[in-house]
Amino acid sequence: MSLSYDAIVIGAGTNGLVTAHLLARAGRKVLVLEQATGEPASRDIGWIPPQVIADLSLTKAGLTIDTADPWAAIALEGGGRLELSSNLQRTAEAIGRLSARDAAKWPEFCARMHKVASVLSALYSQPAPDVETTEPGELLRLGLLGLKVKGLGRQGMIDLLRLLPMSVADLLDEWFENDALKAVLGIAGVMHLRQGPRSGATAFNFLHHHVGSPPGVFRLPASNLSHVLAGLPGVEVRRGAQVTRIRVAQGRANGVVLKNGDELAASLVLSSADPRATLLGMLEPGWLDPGFVRAVGNIKCRGVAAQVSLTLAAEPSFKTLSVAPSLNYIERAYDDVKYGRVSANPWLEARANGRQVDVHVQYVPHTISDGKALGDVVVQKLCEHVPGLRESITARFVLTPADLAAQGLTEGQRYHGELTLDQILFMRPVAGWTRYRTPIGGLYLCGAGTHPGGGIAGGAGRLAARQILNDPRL
Amino acid sequence: MATTYDAIVIGGGHNGLVTAAYLGRAGRKVLVLERRERLGGAAVTEEIFPGFKFSMFSYVVSLLRPEIIRDLDLPGHGLHILPLESTVTPMVNGDYFGAWSDHDQTRAELMRHSPKDAEAYDEYGRLMYHMAHAVRPILGMVPPDPTSMSPRDLMGLLKVGKHFRGLGAEQFHALHKLMTMSSADFLDEWFETDVLKATKSASGIIGTFLGPRSPGTAYVLLHHYMGELDGVFRAWGFAKGGTGSVSETIGAAARRFGAEIRASAPVTRVLVKNGRAIGVVLENGDEIRARTVLSSLDPHRTFLQLVEAKELPDDFLGDIKRFTFRGSSGKVNLALGALPNFTCLPGFGPHLRGAMSISPSLEYVERAYDDAKYDEFSREPYMDIVIPSLIDPGMAPPGKHVMSIFVQYAPYHLNGGWTDAKREAFGDAVINALERFAPNIRSCIEHRQVLTPLDIERITGLTEGNIFAGELSLNQLFFLRPAPGYAQYRTPLAGFYQCGSGTHPGGGIMGASGRLAALAALKDGA
Amino acid sequence: MSTFSLKHTPFHARTGALMESQQWRRWAGHVVASSYELLHDREYHAIRSAAALLDVSPLYKYMVTGRDASKLLDRVVIRNVGASKTGQVLYTCWCDEAGKVIDDGTISRLGEQAFRLTSAEPSLRWLHLNAHGFEVDIDDVSESTAALALQGPTARAILQQLTSDDLASVKYFRLIQTTLKGIKVTISRTGYTGDLGYEIWLDAANALPLWDALIAAGTPYGITPCGMLALDMARIEAGLMLLDVDYVSAHRALIESQKSSPYELNLGWAVDLTKERFIGQSALRAEAARGAGWQFVGLEVDWMSLERLYEGVGLPPKLPTAAWRTSVPVYEGGAQVGYATSGCWSPLLKKYIALAHLQTPDATASKQLAMEVTVEHQRKQAAARVVKTPFFNPDRKRS
């Protein structure tokens, strides 16, 4: 077997491609293997850190970021909608029609949340802090982060310390009284999480989804990132190539085996697949210590979000629409999934892009894959607020966590590991292995399962590539 | 106006008494003012029915600090803690799960359920030992203020940081997980036996308004392991004579150090002059002066009732108002003419001398929480049941027994509010749920007392009936308890201190808050 | 009413009937005899002069079978299991990731893909944790498999009467699958006494008939049921360590200094660093290069020194009647250089012997050290000399 590539990247998602391109730009010969055969996704949801855009000159390459404005519109119980936009004044006016008290608090709420999120944003743009370090450089970096925190001022620091472990419901109850407002904000706290808004630390998830957005915007932007990355020259991407084995010799990864039996050699293997699938599924068994195997097996990775994609005959009347009348509604939706059921009344959020409508639905356990029933529920719920929608649907496509799991994504969790306090920063993907390395020499992780995690397009991929290029072996 | 005192302690619960004892021990002239006719707050023994004595609220001694036991010589004043040896959980299928104090016995029991868990149990126990060891110094530490730039606080933070870094990577990570995870998730990493996880996780939800699947419940799992380290063999147990005897022995110690303790003396207001506490006003109008005033009442009572709002800064008041209580537990005290007969272990047996945990499955406990989330009491609640009269025969007439049932969830804010009828319905739910596992229970009952969170609030004064004087959730711990910047027992008023469970570390019959507060006041020259 | 009782071994109906001294002890959740007779002397001497019959059923036993069985064991233990032959028994220990010993036991290769592992502590979880991705079955057969040790010079003669297979051909640390008076057994030439001896593994259901057959065949040869007190002395003479007494499992140790590596336990010979991969390998490789900081050695207490200490208080030397298991300090010129973890007076060798952990520089053979002894309530130091173990190593053990 000849060594034809410097590096093989598993997975052609945004993180995999960002890693691949950054390695290619550093002169490495890179092959990307993607199991899917189809075209790259046309739309990606997620904040793209500015460093990613700069490093790969993505703006020049045609990157467009669609920050929907209004970023959320929630269907009100008595009819009508509450629209939230990036314009704080306009949003406050909209909220004021429901609650003058809440409207008055909106600007301060947005400012305070933005301040706390700015700390996360700084943390997300660099490797996870190594709190165990004794190395001077890392200690300095920790010190600078500490200064950044101190720079928040007294109130900001208190917010940071208090908020992260709180439930998003408690956070919102402290600020607001209107159910619809709290629900539409609360959604960001449980996005891709098998928790309800009353669960601890959902306030962190809320802030995570605010990182990178301007004050007053609590949803991730959409972009054409995959498309742009796929169009960049410099790496070979092979689609329809499923990796079944990562080969190891003398404790080092030396290539992969494809489903069709092909063996490909490389001195570096990088996986943007989720850590559990990579390390417990693809990696040749027998090389990992039991403590590490346990830690990887314990990564909480419970997919709960399904996507229903509708193609309409005509552009719908909305750009975005959320169905979640109250925090209790979301909480009850969560109750179902706790006991292994699909939410009888799921919360959903639709985003329209031309005639295409993508609906995020929660909660759907990864153990159930009745896409038909789910699609019906979603259409029914939307129709309650969008008259004539049903008649307008020309195509419908449902993707459940079970479907994603069948494609190899562990438990159908799109973030490759839930974003809970025990699975972020120096705990992601597992404690002690936060620098994209694995116990196997030459094998790296570069997907959303690593820092800074899901919802941040290309963030992990960029940091992984930098780590690899810094490591002495290459 | 008669005597003046060096210090007045408001509230004669165990923390207030500990504070008084430590101040007395330092030579201060101390007066304790208790609203009720008896001492103890939530740690009281009352003869609710003739001949039947109950630890009416708090019923086990868990984490009473060993330094307090030593410093105040509580055994010398009569404190005797009797062992609570086992926890048995009846299961719906008629089986049970028992955790005993003998290792071989517990192992044999675990082997019945899962050989893998039998081995994991020991390893888990060792991890908990290490974690408890790691956390122990924090319990005895005045929390530094992270927002402060003062050298003392910065040094304090550095000390905390150094302590945790000193644990080594493995333990630090484990502790991080313990502090941030849900008890169910944490236990899922170790065990496969559902009833074992349910029983362990139930200890993680006590006094919180969270379910076992909610992050922030795992760290309470530590509590069961803390006592073992403290050099107080059998730190987890019953106080002979009920938990009231803990308060009484601390009170006796305080008196020996010269403290004056006055019962039936409700304080209505703290006297403030020029931003300084100078004494208190009693309900009967008496004013008593002192250089230092310490309140063991919870933060809401202390700052929203005893002190006029104009005396306190707005942002501090805002923080105090945000401090949450949400009492979530109730208590049912039964006078029994005969012992209950559990289907899983018929007849009399050693299991009755320990705790019986009604937590047959994780789903059971989680569902109990679901009811509470929507402001109902659990139709099938989690219960922690003990029969102290089997260990301490003096608690009931010969041949008869007292049963203490800790019940969760019973939300303070019940739909439609608590009424007498709702209280009885809640009591019935408890008996119905228990009857599933001990079918003869109804026929054993001679008397029944049902305490809702509202009752707990009315009797003990604990806001919203929260047994920990404020939720022990992560955002209300350590330097955030009860408010950032005021977690060091001091208050915005000079000469005014907080010494109750609403301060770090709070929770249980621990006494640590009372002791640390006394030390803080003494350090300031009280 | 529920009452808990410790488990009985499959031989309890017989061992219980023999119990004169009422000296039971716990072993892995079972009750076993400390000694059957009022004194354990005769049981001890049977090991060295006739044959002692020991109920060792409480040992943990696991069957590891399947395609990757030897791969799994090779991954877990320090010795080379793949290189062993069917019918071979390996004594080995296994380590954690940091190369510290978790437990020790034997691996019997019963077939190409079938192994029996014995251990002092439960090991099911550890085996499972290591089995990720392997095609292997791990069965806990601790309860269903009964085990007896027949140890002493007449052991072979006793067993030979009950089987037609030639036991003389079963070499040291080899096994044979045979029948004893028609009962299917595996006999391995192994034991914990350092003497000629065998261990017999069988279905627990056949425990009593086998016991009876052995007693019947063995009576003319001096077969003597023997308890743990006697065994403890014999294993010290043989220089064999005991978990929880002589070392602490890496899984139970509360602090680093309680842990030991194989090199520190005198098991360096068993570490096969050339294997492709096993748990703890890189740490052990580094330790091998560096040299171990500690050694596990024998100590022989100087009689004259002991006599002088007792003379000082007007007494003749007082000797332990059974093995002791409390750690005592060992000194070199006043400075502590280690600790002895178990010791006894060897009635056979007429020597006071002990097993000790010593810092490497002080662990050379014949080195003169001092061990703490308590003489009439006073702590004293008796001269002691480092010696190679085993203290007692008869030719018959291997021949």
pLDDT of B146 reads 84
Average pLDDT score over residue span C111-117: 98
Q: Which residue, B483, B72, B89, B90, is CA-closest to B316?
A: B483
Token look-up 């989720």 returns: A274
CB contact under 8 A, A286 and C75: yes
Q: How many other CB atoms are there within 10 angstroms of residue A384's CB atom?
A: 11
Q: Which residue, B254, B208, B225, B226, is CA-closest to B474?
A: B208
A420 at interface of B, judged by CB pairs closer than 8 A:
yes
pLDDT of A138 reads 87
CA distance linking residue A269 with residue A282, whole number of Å: 11
Asked which of A106-115, B500-509, C301-310 is least confident by mean pLDDT, the reply is: B500-509
Residue C158's SS3 state is helix
- B-chain residue closest to C31, CA distance: B104
pLDDT in tens, C123-166: 999 999 999 999 999 999 999 999 999 999 999 999 999 999 99
| Residues C91/C109, Cβ–Cβ less than 8 Å | no
The yes-or-no verdict on residue A415 having pLDDT over 70 is yes
CB contact under 8 A, C124 and B348: no
Smallest Cα distance from B142 to chain C, Å: 28
Average pLDDT score over residue span B54-81: 92
| Residues C88/C267, Cβ–Cβ less than 8 Å | no
Contacts with C32 from chain B: Cβ below 8 Å: none
CA distance linking residue B450 with residue B48, whole number of Å: 11
The yes-or-no verdict on residue C297 having pLDDT over 80 is yes
C252 at interface of B, judged by CB pairs closer than 8 A:
yes
Identity of the residue in B105, B116, B349 whose CB atom sits nearest the CB atom of C1: B349
Kindly list the distances between the CA atom of residue B197 and the CA atoms of A256, B126, B194, B361, in Å, as whole numbers in the listed order: 40, 17, 5, 8
Contacts with A148 from chain B: Cβ below 8 Å: none
Contacts with C2 from chain B: Cβ below 8 Å: 345, 349-351
CA distance linking residue C356 with residue C364, whole number of Å: 12
B115 at interface of C, judged by CB pairs closer than 8 A:
yes
The yes-or-no verdict on residue A149 having pLDDT over 90 is no
Residue A422's SS3 state is helix
pLDDT category of residue B233 using cuts at 50, 70 and 90: low
Q: Which of B130-134, B361-365, B522-526 has the highest mean pLDDT?
A: B361-365
pLDDT in tens, A79-95: 889 999 999 999 999 99
CA distance linking residue C124 with residue B118, whole number of Å: 10
Name the more confident of B224 and C246. C246
Q: Which residue, B275, B322, B283, B277, is CA-closest to B300?
A: B322
pLDDT of A43 reads 87
Q: Give percent above pLDDT 90 in chain A.
A: 86
- B-chain residue closest to C139, CA distance: B115
pLDDT of B62 reads 75
Contacts with B147 from chain A: Cβ below 8 Å: 154, 157-158
pLDDT in tens, C302-313: 999 999 999 999
pLDDT category of residue C173 using cuts at 50, 70 and 90: very high
pLDDT in tens, C197-206: 999 999 999 9
- A-chain residue closest to B181, CA distance: A422
The yes-or-no verdict on residue A205 having pLDDT over 50 is yes
CB contact under 8 A, B120 and C125: yes
pLDDT category of residue B1 using cuts at 50, 70 and 90: very low
pLDDT of B232 reads 53
Identity of the residue in B149, B214, B366 whose CB atom sits nearest the CB atom of A200: B214
Average pLDDT score over residue span A56-63: 96
CB contact under 8 A, C279 and A280: no
pLDDT in tens, B392-448: 999 999 999 999 999 999 999 999 999 999 999 999 999 999 999 999 999 999 999
The yes-or-no verdict on residue A1 having pLDDT over 50 is no
- Identity of the residue numbered C157: A
Contacts with B113 from chain C: Cβ below 8 Å: none
Per-window interface: A 150-179 vs B, CB < 8 A: 150, 154, 157-158, 161-163, 165-167, 170, 174
CA distance linking residue A259 with residue B374, whole number of Å: 50
Beta strands in B345-420 (DSSP E): 355-358, 382-386, 401-408
3-state SS string for B1-65? CCCCEEEEEECCEHHHHHHHHHHHHCCCCEEEECCCCCCECCCCEEEEECCEEEECCCCCECCCC
B70 at interface of C, judged by CB pairs closer than 8 A:
no
CA distance linking residue C390 with residue C238, whole number of Å: 5
Identity of the residue in C6, C128, C254 whose CB atom sits nearest the CB atom of B116: C128
pLDDT of B135 reads 87
Average pLDDT score over residue span B155-167: 85
pLDDT in tens, C320-331: 999 999 999 999
Q: Respond yes or no on whether the N-terminal peptide bond of residue A363 is cis (omega within 30° of 0).
A: yes
**HSE-up of residue C71 (Cα within 13 Å, Cβ side):** 13
CB contact under 8 A, A427 and B176: yes
Per-window interface: B 128-167 vs C, CB < 8 A: 129-130
**ipTM value of the model?**
0.94
Name the more confident of A150 and C353. C353
pLDDT category of residue A291 using cuts at 50, 70 and 90: very high
Identity of the residue in A251, A289, A297 whose CB atom sits nearest the CB atom of C97: A289
Supply C31's token pair: 């009750």
CB contact under 8 A, B116 and C124: yes
Angle between helices B115-139 and B169-180 (to 10 degrees): 90
CA distance linking residue C253 with residue C358, whole number of Å: 19
Mean of the per-residue pLDDT values of chain C: 97
Contacts with C98 from chain A: Cβ below 8 Å: none
CA distance linking residue C358 with residue B286, whole number of Å: 74
CA distance linking residue A18 with residue A458, whole number of Å: 6
CA distance linking residue B212 with residue C338, whole number of Å: 48
Supply B242's token pair: 């009920």
pLDDT of A85 reads 95
DSSP element (H, E) containing C98: none
The yes-or-no verdict on residue B202 having pLDDT over 50 is yes
Residue A385's SS3 state is coil
* A358-374 as b/e: b if 16+ CB within 10 A: bbbbbbbbbbbbebeeb
- B-chain residue closest to A151, CA distance: B147
Contacts with A251 from chain C: Cβ below 8 Å: 277
B neighbours by CB contacts (3+ pairs under 8 Å): A, C
C133 at interface of A, judged by CB pairs closer than 8 A:
yes
pLDDT of B52 reads 98
pLDDT of A67 reads 84
CA distance linking residue A307 with residue A453, whole number of Å: 20
Backbone φ and ψ for A140, nearest 5 degrees, come out as: -65, -45
pLDDT in tens, B279-337: 999 999 999 999 999 999 999 999 999 999 999 999 999 999 999 999 999 999 999 99
Q: How many other CB atoms are there within 10 angstroms of residue C168's CB atom?
A: 9
Q: How many other CB atoms are there within 10 angstroms of residue A19's CB atom?
A: 34
Mean of the per-residue pLDDT values of chain B: 93
pTM: 0.94
pLDDT in tens, B206-215: 888 999 999 9
* B-C Cβ pairs (cutoff 8 Å, strict): 43
Smallest Cα distance from C286 to chain B, Å: 21
Contacts with C82 from chain A: Cβ below 8 Å: none
Side by side, the strands of the sheet bearing B355-358 are B96-99, B87-90, B355-358, B382-386, B401-408, B329-336, B445-451
CB contact under 8 A, B216 and A165: yes
User: Alpha-carbon Rg of chain C, whole angstroms?
Assistant: 21
Q: Which residue, A6, A8, A4, is CA-closest to A243?
A: A8
If you count DSSP H runs as helices and E runs as strands, how many of each does chain B have, helices first? 17, 18
pLDDT in tens, B59-70: 988 788 889 999
CA distance linking residue A446 with residue A465, whole number of Å: 8
pLDDT of B231 reads 55
User: Which of A248, A252, A288, A289 would you mutate first to test chain C, the one with the most C CBs within 10 A?
Assistant: A289
pLDDT category of residue C359 using cuts at 50, 70 and 90: very high
Token look-up 């709420």 returns: A109
Q: Which residue, C92, C143, C95, is CA-closest to C115?
A: C92
B213 at interface of A, judged by CB pairs closer than 8 A:
yes
* A-C Cβ pairs (cutoff 8 Å, strict): 28
CB contact under 8 A, B345 and C2: yes
DSSP element (H, E) containing C287: helix C281-290
CA distance linking residue B185 with residue B221, whole number of Å: 12
CA distance linking residue B156 with residue B141, whole number of Å: 9
CA distance linking residue C165 with residue A145, whole number of Å: 76
* A-B Cβ pairs (cutoff 8 Å, strict): 91
Q: Give percent above pLDDT 90 in chain B.
A: 81
Supply B344's token pair: 């899983």
Provide CB contacts within 8 A for B34, sequence distance 6+: B11, B12, B16, B261, B262, B263, B264, B265
C277 at interface of A, judged by CB pairs closer than 8 A:
yes
Identity of the residue in A250, A251, A280 whose CB atom sits nearest the CB atom of C132: A280
Smallest Cα distance from A323 to chain C, Å: 43
The yes-or-no verdict on residue A319 having pLDDT over 70 is yes
Smallest Cα distance from B462 to chain A, Å: 21
Q: How many other CB atoms are there within 10 angstroms of residue A392's CB atom?
A: 16
Token look-up 């407002």 returns: A181
